[in-house]
Amino acid sequence: MFLRMQAYERPTDLGEALRLLTRPGYRPLAGGTAAVGPVDVETAGLVDLSGLDLQYSRMEHDGLVLGAMTPLGDLLRLPELLLIGGGVLGKAVERTGPPTLLSRATLGGSLAGHPGQAPDLVTTLLALDAQVTVAWLENDRVVQDTTTVDRLDLQPGSLIEAVRIPVKPVLTGYERVARTPRDLPAVAVVAAMQQDGHFVQNVRIAAWGVAQKPLRLTAAEEELEDTAPIEAVIQRAAEAAAAAAEAAPSDLRGSSEYRRHLAGVLTRRAVEAAASRMGRM
């Protein structure tokens, strides 16, 4: 419920939408799922983004490009998703919510909101090295820049325009622990790496639940980079992941100590799952 809302706008031009969002109290409206919640006393105007041409998917030479207004449910019907890490992105989308939510929630809205709204999705995109295109106005001109999921920091008056996901041969592992299958995870870990003979390269390990936002476990990545993922190496990576989770938060889903333990355990499982696919590609 919006107690102070006085205006509703549905622009058909990105520049017009960005100009409207510079007004005090104006906020974007994508799929509308975030609008269902506690009483809102700050929003003075809604800028409906459904009139913009931001619902699309296309393959380009360097990856899959998804418009910010693409519903999450539509992603599950894209055959291209099978090319991304053996379908790991599709699995993460399925974990984001029931079909009724996925039919409305958009990709851009899921990234723009609190990361806790779609932790499996944002963690997987981080591990897959997804690039987020953000647009804003500068001297009344639309300016665009790209960033990674973990560095995404939307300022008032800016919008997510698109997400680009590299499509390349990659080994992945995805592990999570939650109180129930449909609950948000206490900790989720996604590992992605490329095979070079008996070795792995370009290792990326992303985790949710060990910090206030999705986090790259760079120390664990360094243990694995340019190595054969044998048991001793994976164990060192798991120990590095647990050490990186030293400042993990405590809440109703798990204590800080429990999350640190899970960071190590799930990193081990995710890396083992990715390594088990070596030679199958």
- The domains of the chain, with CATH numbers, are 7-51 (3.30.43), 57-165 (3.30.465.10), 171-275 (3.30.390.50)
Distance, in Å, from the CA atom of 55 to the CA atom of 78, rounded to the nearest integer, reads: 13
Distance, in Å, from the CA atom of 73 to the CA atom of 63, rounded to the nearest integer, reads: 20
Task: Say if CB 215 and CB 229 are below 8 A apart.
Answer: no
Interval 100-115 mean pLDDT: 89
Distances (CA, A) of 155 to 82, 89, 256: 34, 27, 30
Going by C-alpha positions, the residue among 257, 274, 81 that lies closest to residue 189 is: 274
Distance, in Å, from the CA atom of 54 to the CA atom of 31, rounded to the nearest integer, reads: 12
Which structure tokens are listed for 247? 């400042």
Interval 222-248 mean pLDDT: 96
Place of tokens 């991304």: 84
- pLDDT of amino acid 115: 67
Per residue, what are the HEC states of the chain?
A: CECCCCEEECCCCHHHHHHHHCCCCEEEECCCHHHCCCCECCCCEEEEHHHCCCCCEEEECCEEEEECCCEHHHHCCCHHHHHCHHHHHHHHHHCCCCHHHHCCCEHHHHHHCCHHHCHHHHHHHHHCCCEEEEEEEECCEEEEEEEEHHHCCCCCCCEEEEEEECCCCCEEEEEEECCCCCCCCCEEEEEEEEEECCEEEEEEEEEECCCCCCEECHHHHHHHCCECCCHHHHHHHHHHHHHHCCCCCCECCECHHHHHHHHHHHHHHHHHHHHCCCCCC
Task: Say if CB 174 and CB 273 are below 8 A apart.
Answer: yes
Q: What are phi and psi of 37, to 5 degrees?
A: 180, -150
Interval 239-266 mean pLDDT: 95
Interval 97-105 mean pLDDT: 91
pTM (whole model) above 0.95: no
- pLDDT of amino acid 48: 95
- pLDDT tens profile 42-96: 888 999 999 999 999 999 988 999 999 999 999 999 988 877 888 999 999 999 9
- pLDDT tens profile 13-43: 999 999 999 999 999 999 887 666 676 778 8
Distances (CA, A) of 76 to 71, 82, 149, 162, 189: 10, 10, 20, 17, 21
Task: Say if CB 57 and CB 19 are below 8 A apart.
Answer: no
Average pLDDT, the chain: 92
Interval 261-279 mean pLDDT: 95
Q: What are phi and psi of 42, to 5 degrees?
A: -105, -30
Alpha-carbon torsion (138, 144, 145, 147), positive or negative: positive
Asked whether residue 280 carries a pLDDT value surpassing 70, the answer given is: no
Interval 141-160 mean pLDDT: 94
